[in-house]
Structure 1
Amino acid sequence: MFSQGQIIFGACFFIAFVIAITIAYRKDINIHKSFYKGNYKVLLAFLGFIGLLFIIKIFFKR
């Protein structure tokens, strides 16, 4: 399905991408701490809303 060259390129690209993302995140970690202090609250609210939708779906299905 894939040639050996394509697999090697994909693996090298993935490794380089992970390294680049890690370096970029480490540089911006102080900015993230100051600008995104309460983002876990938004995540919890979103997960709660999705859970509520599932509960409503189960309730009305029966």
Structure 2
Amino acid sequence: MSATRVPARLHGTLRVTGRGYRLHADDGQVWRVEGAEPFAALAEQTIVVEAYRRAPNLLELLWAGPAI
């Protein structure tokens, strides 16, 4: 038996803070985001992300794009 990790898909607003990137999700949760630097142009926009949940408040970003 193998354990397959499935990325989460979340919607929210990507924000830049003094300590890095945060995703303010539509459900009210605030996530720290690792790997968001390539998507800095999406800051302050409503986006959709695919990411692995690494901790209760930490995402490892795989992909991000504008929410349509």
TM norm structure 2:
0.20
Q: Name the structure where strand makes up a greater proportion of residues.
A: 2
Higher RCO by CA contacts (8 Å cutoff, separation 6 or greater):
2
TM norm structure 1:
0.21
CA radius of gyration, larger in: 1
Q: Name the structure where helix makes up a greater proportion of residues.
A: 1
